[in-house]
Amino acid sequence: MGVETGLRRSLEEKQFILYYQPIYSLSDRSLVGFEALVRRQRPDGGLDLPGEFIHIAEETGLIIPLGNLVMAEACAALGRWSMDMAASTKFSISVNLSGKQFSQPDLVKQTVKSLRDTGADPRRLRLEITESVLMDNPESALAKLRGLREMGITIGIDDFGTGYSSLSYLQRFPIDCLKVDRGFVSDMDDHGNRVIVKTVVNLAHSLGLEVVAEGIETPRQEALLKEFGCDFGQGFLFSRPLPHDKASAFLRSPA
């Protein structure tokens, strides 16, 4: 069976599920959200990571139905979990959007639909896009970001620092947060990478943006990021991505 046919079948057979990786405040290790990460549950019981199917989904356009499913499921989880949260509690779910998804003309409409269907609070939804996605078509990207943010949805720039776009977009686009790419975090023994991470944190704060570090694996990385004033972090040191029920339990008693 071809990969594309396989993907179609997986969609029909509802094999795609979300895992949730906890994101913490580095100052007090309180839970501030989850990043939703899609997986494919194979009939043989195995689990495929996005690396094995996202880019084919993108090429074939299947990323659109898959992305809608991810958005609907993430909003459903938000709706369910809102019961466990005080209104004042900082908590959001981050959903990754690929380029094709972001450039869909009805992205804002689809997102509104997912929120309405589930009663999820838009202020608890964060969308992650990469810088290149913004630069593809800056005019329409700007209009979309404005539409999303008017609803209270927040925007994070994923894999920050790995693209080649000019920094001026940081002030041109309405965004809320930068995610420092795992590549910089994992190699902070290197002086240059350490300086880059520190500089990204300072740049973000100077522009009024929050910073999330990805891929924290060691106490030393956590300590350095705290020292640099990085706001939030996620990574195997704290937790791997969790299946829905574990994430639910975790939300009730984060330990």
For Na ion, which residue of 73, 159, 210, 231 counts as binding (CB under 5 A)? Answer: 159
Judged by CB under 5 A, does residue 131 bind Na ion? no
- 7 in Cβ contact with 62 (< 8 Å): yes
Nearer to Mn ion, 58 or 168 (CB): 58
Residue 1 tokens, joined? 């069976």
Q: How far is CA 33 from CA 29, 179, 187, 220, in A?
A: 12, 14, 25, 23
Of 83-91, 95-103, 168-176, 240-248, the segment contacting Mn ion by CB under 5 A is 95-103
Q: Which residue has the tokens 């580095």?
A: 26
Judged by CB under 5 A, does residue 158 bind Na ion? yes
**Alpha carbons 143 and 137: distance in angstroms, whole number:** 10
For ligand G, which residue of 50, 79, 147, 183 counts as binding (CB under 6 A)? Answer: 50
Q: How far is CA 179 from CA 148, 175, 184, 204, in A?
A: 19, 12, 11, 10
Judged by CB under 6 A, does residue 131 bind ligand G? no
Of 24-32, 113-121, 141-149, 154-162, the segment contacting Mn ion by CB under 5 A is 154-162
Nearer to ligand G, 122 or 156 (CB): 156
Judged by CB under 5 A, does residue 101 bind Mn ion? no
Nearer to ligand G, 165 or 186 (CB): 186
**Alpha carbons 56 and 244: distance in angstroms, whole number:** 25
From the number of C-beta atoms within 10 Å of its C-beta (0-12, 13-18, 19+), residue 198 rates as middle
Binding site for ligand G (CB under 6 A): 21, 37-38, 49-51, 54, 70, 96-98, 158-159, 182, 214-217, 234-236, 241
